[in-house]
Chains A and B, each alone.
Chain A
């Protein structure tokens, strides 16, 4: 069942096109890695799929109730360092609907805090945390409100290898529960073990959708391996 379906999607800013004629669908249980060089339109695609960027052409079609059940992790945390909120408040903003919270919501928040190992720092100020800790807090918030789809824009930035590995396991857990996961990452070799499909974006607008096995055999992956080797 398609949770999100992109049909002939063209994205850009003003006169500049960054993604052209892209068609693919994210289905329940899939984990799609979006990769490509800087400026190839990865974040723009993520914004379009979350309904925050209007396509120049084509459409994004959502399954029933999916549009309001997307858990999203932005590429850059927008908050200023002087913002006085606790870790708990930040995570709770993923589910909170009223001034007073329901018991079920409190339990879900507690579970998310435990899941990401941030329960001991729940009362700390978000601004006092390290970059990696902040990323885990924002991930917990995204996981909490991902009823159907989880969209993560560079989720492993700033995370150590162990936490990165744990995160990929979390993604598997989420998709095994019937949700779809789409994430942007430059850590292609690490992420390939855990994703089911790869969406490779090229500068100039072209996009290629592969299964993981197809991607490992593709010219794009060979080029990437060579670039990493030379670097």
Chain B
């Protein structure tokens, strides 16, 4: 595991991804620093500064959440090729000839990718959060939930690219699989909004089933934001069903990997 973590870190530097994360973080910090001078027009009416403070806090929180989502997107795009590369001709022989079971090799590689890129996301997010805290927000330990929700998102997206990578041995297919799930997720969510006007019960059932099966990363991130703001959460089912989806995909990844000849 330690060897694969070191290997994943060296891949991170070799692929120049670390610079992309650093650049995005720098831009975000500059945006935060320059957006703290805000002209507020009261328009002659009395305003409750407490409400205003809450509104500003929510805006920054939303901004930080979007930034973390973008980092997750970068990580998924950047790592989609790692497993196909490990399994490419010439390199698969090297890794598979070692005294590790395939299950252990795959899970170790997956955990290495998740922990290395998860750490990068947390560090970059923390830098932006510190800039926000120093400038405006004030420190709050509840931000932990926001980071956690995005790490869960990362875990789910990585499980999709891992399965696609093992099945296709192709970085492009891994990226396309992640995009396909994302598009499906958006389409199904949009279609469900109109399901009352859909005539077919079968179609409604199909849409509901698909909605339950597909990961709900947007909702997980919203849950993270609400927990950070200490707001009531009606249901955590989006978290459990999405995690179940990821675990099933990981299981299929390991099963497929174990059955394959290279």
Question: Is chain B found bound to chain A in the same assembly?
Answer: no
Which A residues contact B (CB, under 8 angstroms)?
Answer: none
Which B residues contact A (CB, under 8 angstroms)?
Answer: none
